Amino acid sequence: MPPANGARGSVYDEMKIPFTKMHGAGNDFIMVDDRTLKFPMDDKSFIQRIACRHTGIGCDGIILLQPSPILGKVEGETADLRMRFINPDGGEQEMCGNGARCIARLAFDLGAVSARMKIETGAGIVHAEVLGDLIRLDLTDPTDLELDLPVDLEWPVDFVNTGVPHAVAWVDNVQAVDLPKAGSTLRYHKLFEPNGTNANFARVEANGALSLRTYERGVEAETLACGTGAAAVAVLAAERGWVKLPVSVHCVGGHDLVIDNACGKTTLTGGAERVFDGEIGYGNRL
């Protein structure tokens, strides 16, 4: 495949891109140390290829660790690093909770930051802290919260933006939901046009925990976990008076995420694990 810009002798000819495969609660990512700003993030074909689970590396998203030389969206506050999150379809997304926890772990392991750090995202600056095997992330403040939306599904549906938009349907049995069908219906509902929403299906369990399944926008399928989705269901369940924070959110991949609102900030805590390191070629050899 020729270089993305069509020129011969491009810096990307035969370029080798080191990466680290990581996951946060089963939400898996291709992590790239892109502090040199050389990753071809405008080449959607390349991104779709490496994100494909059948013919590429496979992931729920590509995350770039970049420098943050400018002010973030919070006036007067600078960040230690910048996170760029790219969906498997090649489109960029403002925020990913589990992805931000993974980039915090990666940046700390690389020695690029201290245990406490500020991360610039498309949704604003978020704070993260490495706590042994766990990463705690302060999310941006929830916005646009609305209960009982007029959505033509058999369950009550709420909405909140926890960095990215999330619709939440409250169901009796999360495992019984036909997620490809119901998830697509909610994700593309006219109420959320033009960009759509992430679609979540949740239940409050007898022990006070929450169970969650998520159909993610940009992935266009179910993922094993969603950090901003876990925050959304916790915030909405608390708003309805069903739970009190902190609360554990059980994800379909078998991991739990803990949502709290200590010090007035919504926090997301869970593990962020390195799976393997590798290298992929970009340029004429593809």
- Name the residues annotated as catalytic: 96, 226
| Contacts with 88 (C-beta within 8 Å, 6 or more apart), sequence order | 47, 48, 51, 52, 59, 60, 61, 62, 218, 219
| Rounded Cα–Cα distance for residues 6 and 134 (Å) | 44
Integer distance in angstroms from the first to the last C-alpha of the chain? 5
The two tokens of residue 148 are 């009982």
| Contacts with 190 (C-beta within 8 Å, 6 or more apart), sequence order | none
| Rounded Cα–Cα distance for residues 220 and 107 (Å) | 28
The two tokens of residue 109 are 């392991």
CA distances from 49 to 106, 194, 286 (A): 23, 26, 10
